[in-house]
Amino acid sequence: MEKRDNSISGMCDPAIGEAGRTGDWRDVRPVIDHTKCIPSVKNKPACFLCWLYCPEGVVKGSIPVEIDLDYCKGCGICAEECPAKAISMVREDKIDE
Ligand code: SF4
Ligand code: SF4
């Protein structure tokens, strides 16, 4: 069988953190409300659109869904695509750690 060339495919596999660790310049971060997130609510693998659309490949398609904030760039695509509106983009200076 002919080998697939990922470099010309619209379905290329994302490399986690291809653009490197984010550092401290990110202004906003995604925060998941697991009471709304479909896999957590249904307790089964479903949706995962955030995993699919994240350009950094840093969303883990697990239950619960996890985001690797060391590499997340805060672009907000995951929040835009989430059909359950389960992801909020929260300003970094409003996060209590
Ligand atoms: S904010 Fe952007 S980089 Fe971060 S998890 Fe969402 S889609 Fe990925
Ligand atoms: S897109 Fe939203 S509902 Fe779907 S898995 Fe991600 S956070 Fe959960």
Number of the ligand closest to the Cα of 58? 1
Q: Is 95 exposed, middle or buried (0-12, 13-18, 19+ CB in 10 A)?
A: exposed
Residue 89: pLDDT band (50, 70, 90) is: very high
What would the pLDDT profile of 39-64 be if each residue is shown by its tens digit? 999 999 999 999 999 999 999 999 99
CB-based pocket (< 6 A), ligand 1: 30, 54, 56, 58-59, 67, 72-78
Centroid of ligand 2 to alpha carbon of 38 (angstroms): 6
Is the domain spanning 28-94 CATH 3.30.70.20? The answer is: yes
Instruction: Tell me the domain boundaries of the chain.
Output: 28-94
Q: Taking the model in full, what pTM does it have?
A: 0.84
